[in-house]
Amino acid sequence: MAFIPHTEKDVAEMLAAIGVSNIEELFDEIPSSLRVKSLAGIPPALNEMEIGRLMSARASADGRPLNFIGAGAYEHHIPSAVWAITTRGEFYSAYTPYQAEASQGTLQLLYEYQTMIASLTGMAVSNASLYDGASAVAEACLMAVRANRKSKSQRILIPTTVHPHYRKVATATASNQGLRFEEVPFSATEGRTDLEALAKYDGQDITALVIQQPNFFGVLEDVDALAGWARSRGIFVIACVNPTSLAMLKPPGEWGTTGGADIAVGDGQPLGVPLSSGGPYFGFITTRMEHVRQMPGRIVGRTVDLNGKPGFTLTLQAREQHIRRAKATSNICTNQGLLVTAATIYMSLMGPQGLQRVAAASHARTRELVTELTRIKGVRTPFTTPCFHEAVITLDRPVTNVLKGLESRGILGGLDLTPYYPDLGNALLVCATETKTPEDIKRYANALSETLKMAAAA
């Protein structure tokens, strides 16, 4: 918190009220052998002015580079009202709303969040959030195994166009529970899942197919064809979506012609959550009503009391981890309440039209970026398929040194795809959102051109 108002007198009165003489007595249950005797490595305390100068100096050391990295975490404009409200004490210090009579504000916020996320994804029901997008994919795969009772194989088809980190987390989380993840290749010219590669699975027992839209390359998958193929064969469809893109693209609940996805997940970071050196973020998960009891986490519902007044309460906690662990559907213990608060306020302030403007501007900026960069000799695009707000470009030399040259010019030029997709060659994933201006794009193009020229001269 920005300010702690307790004076020494306040502290003394509180200690007297609970019957202890000093703060140390509050920790007397900890054995003395386990307690730290001193804080010798900690520098002396600083006053408010001094700590402000120190933090400003530390922050300035990071610089303010122009950022064109996406790859699952995106730099969007966050209206100042979002975190001004989120960090109010009522939200900032609120905890798990087990006692409905004392938690109506938190419960209502979670209810509104669930309503917005369900509406955005076109699904029937949402929980109160998960940890992040990667763990959401893992939970969706586990949920599909529980919900798809016609399948006994626990085999999950996961295209290589799905975020590499998501694939790793899903494997680490669920493979030891018997799930088998089988990768589906992508088309080298289109940059999206190769439909022909699915033909070999016809007639086999497959539990679920994961479809990321847009995929890791920013490319738009043929979600109708993929979802139709899966559902016609009794295979669950797990959609992994960017929430901002849903302001423009068809929601997972409408994919294909036979009812859409079964489960939709994603990372909620684009919805008002700052990059913040990698987190924390939050994950979301939605599903069809018939699968609601297999969904991890908690669901808040709206009801009425004995006097007919509306109120909110925890309606369903299918995990039951705190009651019957052996019957728990998931290891998810809580939701990312503070980040969900920010996302709910963000979505409320932006509204459908505001989200659509953000999505449209991000798409337009990326098209401008790719157009400018591919005018440079040695830069091209390997894929012909439409994309959303990031895209792959390839260079005529190793990406690592080029990114270093850009960084020396104050630009974070994108993500080097070489470690993840070596078959693409010298490939770079670039991203632009509504925060980028035409001048920013020109600056990047000029810096890339200069970097490539200097590398050629050397």
Assess whether 302 and 439 both reside in one domain.
no
Nearest CA among 366, 337, 275 for reference residue 105:
337
Assess whether 407 and 341 both reside in one domain.
no
Name the domain boundary from 290, 322, 346: 346
Q: Is residue 208 part of a domain?
A: yes
Assess whether 410 and 321 both reside in one domain.
no
Q: What is each CA distance from 400 to 72, 330, 376, 419, 457, in whole angstroms? A: 20, 40, 18, 11, 17
Assess whether 97 and 170 both reside in one domain.
yes
How far is 359 from 355, CA to CA, in rounded Å?
6
Assess whether 148 and 291 both reside in one domain.
yes
Count of positions (residues) in the chain: 458
Domain holding 430, by residue range, is 352-457
Q: Is residue 406 part of a domain?
A: yes
**209 touches 226 (CB < 8 A):** yes
Torsion of CA 56, 58, 61, 67, to 10 degrees: -80
- Check which CATH number belongs to the domain holding 434 and give it: 3.90.1150.10
Q: Tokens at residue 440, please?
A: 């920013």
With a cut of 50, which residues of the chain have pLDDT below it? none
Q: What's the pLDDT at 101?
A: 81
Dump strand ranges (E) for 41-128.
66-67, 125-126
Q: Is residue 59 part of a domain?
A: no
Q: Is residue 25 part of a domain?
A: no
Name the domain boundary from 346, 367, 392: 346
Q: Is residue 49 part of a domain?
A: no
Residue 399 neighbours by CB under 8 Å, 6+ apart:
416, 417, 418, 426, 427, 428
Q: What's the pLDDT at 258?
A: 83
How many domains are contained in the chain? 2
**328 touches 319 (CB < 8 A):** yes
Assess whether 300 and 390 both reside in one domain.
no
Name the domain boundary from 319, 346, 373: 346
Q: What is each CA distance from 127 to 5, 43, 158, 297, in whole angstroms? A: 36, 44, 23, 6
Q: Is residue 140 part of a domain?
A: yes
Assess whether 331 and 400 both reside in one domain.
no
Assess whether 201 and 306 both reside in one domain.
yes
Q: Is residue 329 part of a domain?
A: yes
Write phi, then psi, for 69 (nearest 5 degrees): -95, 135
Assess whether 203 and 342 both reside in one domain.
yes
Assess whether 167 and 264 both reside in one domain.
yes
**pLDDT tens per residue, range 55-84:** 999 988 888 899 999 999 999 999 999 999
- Check which CATH number belongs to the domain holding 137 and give it: 3.40.640.10
How far is 220 from 215, CA to CA, in rounded Å?
6
Q: Is residue 190 part of a domain?
A: yes
Assess whether 393 and 321 both reside in one domain.
no
How far is 248 from 434, CA to CA, in rounded Å?
14
One-letter amino acid identity for 49? M
What is the pTM (predicted TM-score) of this model? 0.89
Assess whether 166 and 255 both reside in one domain.
yes
- Coil/strand/helix, residue 160: coil
